[in-house]
Structure 1
């Protein structure tokens, strides 16, 4: 299982990747939405062990070692990183990608028999830029899986080649649900398809926000009442002379207090 907790990558000014958390199991397809291409590519690089995060925890099968995560994962079609060059033919791309597979797994993997076994003979002579979005994704994911050590697929923005999810979503679902080789598949996309009801996450879903200040109207209202309290006191001041007429009793009582003092003595 791929587990990510508050993964974050610093940028020059703002975060290249704001804190993000997610998890995906073998046999599962997870879609992660992000607005900016830089953020999407940074997440794809980090999930596949190609970029070291600044903060957070990334683990695959209970290991956090970047080398093992990178060995078990394949980064697919990341713009500006490993997307195929447009001037390459399909045949040349296959030859180039198969040469990157570790020798112990490579065997006699040549482009011509590989294209035939994987049913890509019909597009062997085309340029990469001529491929429809769906066929392009089929080719690139098949090349990624030519390495038997690959258990985690990370696809960077497959929806940039077509606005129609039918061009890429069924292929990724089929790869994740393949009983013969269950894969953990993560697709970082610009937007979630409208009809998607499967596992999903959003870049920046673990960013902590400061608490909002208390609403001011609740505190300002009592202050207005308190400020109004001294106003009624002004009409009460004329009543003081009326109460002052009663001291006649104390003056009369003064002898009593003097007598009590003499008696006490």
Structure 2
């Protein structure tokens, strides 16, 4: 399982990646939404062990060593990082990617047998830029899984090639639910599809917001009511009332 707590990467001015937490288990597809391409790429690089975070905890199967995470993961189609060059043919791309697989797994560096076994002969002669979004994703994920050590797929913005989620979502769901090879699949996208009801997270979901200052209500002095004015005589009225009392009159006679 991929576990991420308060993952954050510093930038020159603002955070390149604001604090983000998430979990991705084998056998499930997790979608993480983020508006900015820089943030999406930074998260994808960090999740796959290609970029060291400034803060937070990242672990794969309870192991937080970056090398372990990197060996277990594959970063797929990250713009400006490892997206295939547009001038490459599919045949050349396959040859190039197979050469990166550890020697004990890759066998002969021949693209033709691999293309045939994986049913990509129909696009072998095309340029990468000619590929439809669906076939592009199928090809790149198949190449990533050519390494049997890969248990975690991290895809950077697969939705940038098509506004239609059907161009990428079914393929990723099928990979995650493959019982023969249970994978944890994380796709960092610009927005969640409208009909998505599966696991999801948002970049920056662990940013701490300062508490709002408490407002102190100042009680205003209410004006005296007519009743209060009537029942609270002034000092002059009090003297007049006292002068009318018998005791007060007796004192006046004595004084005279």
Shared fold per TM-score greater than 0.5 = yes
Mapping 1:130-145, distance limit 5 Å = 130-145=130-145
* Aligned pair partner of 1:242 in 227, 237, 241: 237
CA distance in 1, matches of 2:22, 2:70: 18
Q: In the TM superposition, what whole-angstrom CA distance separates every residue of 1:15-55 from its partner, at most 9, and x where no partner exists?
A: 11111111011000000011010010000000000111111
CA distance in 1, matches of 2:173, 2:232: 85
Aligned to 1:23, the other structure's residue is in SS state strand
CA distance in 1, matches of 2:84, 2:57: 31
CA distance in 2, matches of 1:96, 1:128: 13
Partner of 1:39: 39
CA distance in 1, matches of 2:146, 2:234: 101
CA distance in 1, matches of 2:88, 2:6: 38
Q: CA deviation at 1:234?
A: 8.8
Partner of 1:111: 111
Q: CA deviation at 1:243?
A: 2.2
TM-score using structure 2 length: 0.89
Gaps of 5+ in 1: 253-265
CA distance in 1, matches of 2:104, 2:24: 29
Q: In the TM superposition, what whole-angstrom CA distance separates every residue of 1:96-139 from its partner, at most 9, and x where no partner exists?
A: 11111112222224211111111111111110000000000000
Q: CA deviation at 1:235?
A: 8.9
Q: CA deviation at 1:210?
A: 1.6
| Residue correspondences, number | 248
CA RMSD after TM alignment: 2.5
Aligned to 2:29, the other structure's residue is in SS state strand
Q: CA deviation at 1:241?
A: 2.3
CA distance in 1, matches of 2:29, 2:185: 5
Give 1 or 2: higher helix fraction.
Answer: 1
TM-score using structure 1 length: 0.86
Mapping 1:1-265, distance limit 5 Å = 1-214=1-214, 219=217, 222-223=219-220, 226=221, 228-229=222-223, 239-244=234-239, 246=242
Q: CA deviation at 1:89?
A: 0.5
CA distance in 2, matches of 1:236, 1:45: 79
CA distance in 2, matches of 1:109, 1:181: 24
Aligned to 2:179, the other structure's residue is in SS state coil
Partner of 1:257: none
Aligned to 2:88, the other structure's residue is in SS state coil
Q: CA deviation at 1:207?
A: 1.0
Gaps of 5+ in 2: 252-256
Q: In the TM superposition, what whole-angstrom CA distance separates every residue of 1:151-180 from its partner, at most 9, and x where no partner exists?
A: 000000000000111111111011001111
> Larger deviation: 185-194 or 233-242?
233-242
